Amino acid sequence: MKRVGLYPGTFDPVTMGHMDIIGRSMKLVDELVIGVAVSEAKRPLFLLEERIEMMQEECAQLAGPGRASITVLPFDKLLMHFAEDVGAHIILRGLRAVSDFEYEFQMTAMNEQLNRDIETVFLMADVRHQAVASRLVKEIARFGGDITPFVTPTVKERLLEKYKK
Ligand code: ADP
């Protein structure tokens, strides 16, 4: 049986933290679906299309024989319903600090009531990437700080372009 995993997020923009979790997730599944949430309420800096494009660019580097395949898809519905649509067996989430725990704990508990067959798996990034958050990367970029350690050169370019306008 082909194991399908779903890694959902806003990815506004994709960071080294996300890429770290994606690399680890690929070891656990045969097919990884990256769900890019519309997340209107979060008022993302990047358009959905841009967030998808950036994610596709980054994931293209990870493709190779014997590796899990990656598909990047947008979604705008209940996470559990999207997970069912794509035939996911597990949902992958990253845990940064204690601060993520409360929210993730609640979400997992409620999601489990919606579908008991889909497990949520939590992964931690390498210490170098653990504190990276899209929100902080945007703030640093907005005020002209160096974001080189937190995102890839392509994403860095796009961020600088956004804040130039
Ligand atoms: P959301 O809008 O759901 O918070 P994000 O794009 O911010 O989406 O994050 C997607 C997932 O990646 C979440 O599970 C988040 O906890 C995780 N994540 C983000 N940054 C990191 C990081 N530096 N280390 C580990 N997990 C991370």
CATH of the domain at 145: 3.40.50.620
What pLDDT shows up at residue 100? 87
Contacts of 7 by beta carbon, 8 Å cutoff, 6+ apart = 21, 22, 25, 32, 33, 34, 35, 91, 92, 93
**Distance (Å) from CA 17 to ligand 1 centroid:** 7
Residue with the two structure tokens 């845990």: 95
Ligand 1: nearest atom to the Cα of 135: 7
What pLDDT shows up at residue 82? 98
| Residue 134 near ligand 1, beta carbon < 6 Å | yes
State which of 42, 48, 93 you would mutate to test the pocket of ligand 1, scoring each by most atoms of that ligand within 8 A of its C-beta.
93
Closest CA to 25 of 88, 93, 82: 93
State which of 14, 19, 21, 39 you would mutate to test the pocket of ligand 1, scoring each by most atoms of that ligand within 8 A of its C-beta.
21
Tens-digit pLDDT profile for residues 21-55: 999 999 999 999 999 999 999 999 999 999 999 99
In total, how many domains does the chain have?
A: 1
> pTM score, two decimals?
0.95
pLDDT band at 165 (very low <50, low <70, confident <90, very high): low
What pLDDT shows up at residue 128? 94
pLDDT of 136 > 70? The answer is yes
Active site residues: 18, 42, 96, 134
Domain, as residue range, for 81: 4-164
pLDDT band at 150 (very low <50, low <70, confident <90, very high): very high
**Distance (Å) from CA 120 to ligand 1 centroid:** 14
Dihedrals phi, psi of 47, to nearest 5 degrees: -65, 155
Closest CA to 155 of 125, 134, 136: 134
pLDDT band at 97 (very low <50, low <70, confident <90, very high): confident
| Residue 38 near ligand 1, beta carbon < 6 Å | no
